[in-house]
A and B are shown apart, each in its own frame.
Chain A
Amino acid sequence: MAQEAKNQDLPPLVTRKPVKTKEELDLLLADKGVRYYKEMEVFPVDTAALKKTLDATCKSRIRTWLEICAHCSLCADTCFFYLANDNDPKQIPSYKIKSTLGELVKRKGNVDTQFMINCMDTAWGKCTCCNRCGQFCPHGIDMGVMFGYTRGLCFSQGFVPHEMKIGSGMHWLYNAQMDVTVEDYVETCEWMAEENEEYYPGLKIPVDKVGADIMYVVNAREPKHYPQDLAEAAILFHLAGENWTVPSKGWEGTSLAMFAGDWACCKQQVEWVYEAMERLKVKRYVGTECGHQHRATITEGPYWAGRKSGDPPVPGFHYVEWVLEALETGKLKLDPAKKIKEPVTLQDPCNYIRNHGLTDVTRKIMSYIAEDFREMNPNREHNFCCGGGGGMNGIGRYREQRNIGMKVKRDQILATGAKFVVSACHNCWDAIRDLEEVYKIGIKWSFLKPILLEMVIVPDHLKPKEESEEKSA
């Protein structure tokens, strides 16, 4: 009784507003989703607001898709959730979208709390917005895109998974997916440069260098949990002789806000990065090995920022595009004797392969680094989602569903006979790591950076002093 009375004094965790204060964020973090989902069970739907949003934002494309769906079920076996759940008809993409967004549109937003919770459970628990279904539908109906839209509706009404609400709050407060400040980041860069300087004399991580060729933008988990990733990137740029910089403000380019459906937050996040591009007058942007960062900042971002051309202020490249350019131009030289000899396969991250067409880029890179490269089946633009995309890796409420969904990727990897997976995307990397933890199929996985560093030939003039002195002696 006393505990309940105490809880009633606490501010509500479920609201229709995004998290914009540290107090709110800390409360959510401390809760771990317990009180949060309890509150959600009785949180009312603002049906008038929902109708207004639908009228204003749900137009031709989506309404036509919902109308002309022929109920043919050809989308069924295109979806890894359907396949992983033993061909459960309730996992058919058309069924999933019609029973959620389709109903919302039909009822003009006049729905109840349980309906919205089911929408949330479907939009985040039964879809990673990988957009594979849209590639196979004869009408070209893209249910992944529709679920992205549905997430926005759910977010505006407060029916969003706990970790996603926190994630978009992080972007409001830190302009990053984790609580890493600009100062934290700059310090981490300095630290990483110092740590590795003795092996690579002259190694620097330039911050806010005006007029640089490349502005390198990263994922907050790198300074927070994997700072060596920053060092690796710096070393590779250094060895390639690039004129590069990281920005201080604008350093992070991911978007849990996109996964959360918080469009206003998406806009302010990409504008923060674009502002850095313009402030530093760089020639181009290169992002780290992260799929959704590229999707949010380069593919979708320009539209959130109101840029009609669909382009960011400077040309934006995913890390794999820079790597291929460096290999093809000889900026980075790899020792062919150090190519990976064991069979190795390649994950195709949805966000820059299916949804941005960099299919051949990663394959050409594989030809430089692997002797026995085995494609998954299916592959390229038609490969399956890793199982953890769209934020699903991080949502506790759907952990079980995610683990089931990963069976498809597991079986794809097993079928290649390879025990080594190249995965140039943070989410895919995590999913494959978790896949191994759950199913123990005996695989290892890696980003490109560590592989390249193993193989790269360090130019003489960049070797540590003793080494080059020994050589000339």
Chain B
Amino acid sequence: MYEFVSGPLALISFAIFFIGIITRIVLYVKGLDWRLDRVAYSEKLGAGIKGAARSLFHWLLPLNRTTAKHPIFMAVTYLFHICLIITPIFLLAHIVLIEEAWGISWVNIPDKVADYMALAVIAAGIFFLIRRLTNPNVKILTTAWDYIVLAIALAPFITGFIAYHQLELGAGYKTWLIIHILCGEILLIAIPFTKLSHFVLFFCSRIQLGMDYGIKRGGTKGRGIAW
């Protein structure tokens, strides 16, 4: 079982993930239309690029009015996403596996740091869950899928923490390890097919709106919108 999930299934998951997100990006760009969107993407590319860069800059960094208005929520969101990305990529255990499979490796973070990051992801996830269950504005927007994708995102971190610390929770280390790997693979496969696709589509959408503002909504009349 272990050989299967860490071997062929892992390869399949990564393939679906990489092909999936590239397909999403390609389909997004193909589906842009200067006539329908009413943005002169190619004819005003310079203004578009400038607008896109400003849009990405102000929203990848917390330099926008929404962050100023909702500092706690944005801080938790940043913490969640930063730790979510860094932990799996720079965890020593993961790097070792990749080195054994493909011969490449890179710098790792100390295990203790990864531990705290995993806990931060889980804590942030609980914050999101409580917010979704109790805040009336969020409740009215919520569908079952919101809970499902949150679970898909958190599962690898919860099960990873359990596996790493070899906690005896109804099952042994080997079982939790397999469950953790499966959870990671479910997450990888889910990204192209659910709203976890914002992994790449956030950038697409941000760039598109930045181009729109840069080309049409003021970018050519000055410095452009003050995000």
Q: Please report A residues at the B interface, Cβ cutoff 8 Å.
A: 57, 59-61, 63-65, 67-74, 76-77, 87, 89-90, 92, 94-95, 98, 134-142, 299-300, 302-304, 306, 308-311, 354-360, 380-382
Contact = CB atoms under 8 A, between A and B. Distances in A.
B217 A356 contact: yes
A310 B47 CA distance: 12
Contacts of B140: 73, 89-90, 92, 95
B205 A65 contact: yes
Contacts of B59: 138, 140
Nearest to B137: A73
Contacts of A68: 195, 197-198, 201-202, 205
A302 B220 CA distance: 16
A65 B198 CA distance: 10
Contacts of B138: 71-73
B86 to A, nearest CB: 20
- A87, A135, A356, A360 — which one has the most chain B CB atoms within 10 A of its CB? A135
B195 A67 contact: yes
B36 interface: yes
- A-B interface, 3 closest residue pairs, ranked by CB to CB distance from nearest: A357-B218, A60-B31, A310-B40
B226 interface: yes
A372 B12 CA distance: 68
A205 to B, nearest CB: 29
Interface string B183-227: 000000000000101100110111011101001111111101111
14 contacts: A59-B31, A61-B32, A71-B138, A73-B137, A74-B70, A89-B140, A95-B141, A300-B38, A302-B40, A309-B44, A357-B217, A357-B222, A380-B226, A382-B65
B141 A71 contact: yes
B40 A142 contact: no
A356 B205 contact: no
Contacts of A359: 218, 222
A136 B27 contact: no
Interface in B37-72: 37-40, 42-44, 55, 59, 64-66, 69-70
Contacts of B224: 357
Contacts of B132: 71
B2 interface: no
A139 B217 contact: no
Contacts of A358: 218, 221
Contacts of A137: 66
B194 to A, nearest CB: 9
B217 A355 contact: yes
Nearest to A87: B137
A94 B204 contact: no
Contact of A74 (B35, B44, B66, B198): B66
B225 A64 contact: no
A304 B219 CA distance: 21
Contacts of B37: 59, 61
A139 B141 contact: no
B43 A310 contact: yes
A76 to B, nearest CB: 5
Given A60-B204, A302-B40, 12 more contacts: A67-B195, A136-B64, A136-B69, A140-B55, A140-B59, A140-B209, A140-B210, A299-B216, A310-B34, A357-B217, A358-B218, A381-B218
B143 interface: yes
A332 B139 CA distance: 56
Given A68-B198, A76-B137, A135 B227 contact: yes
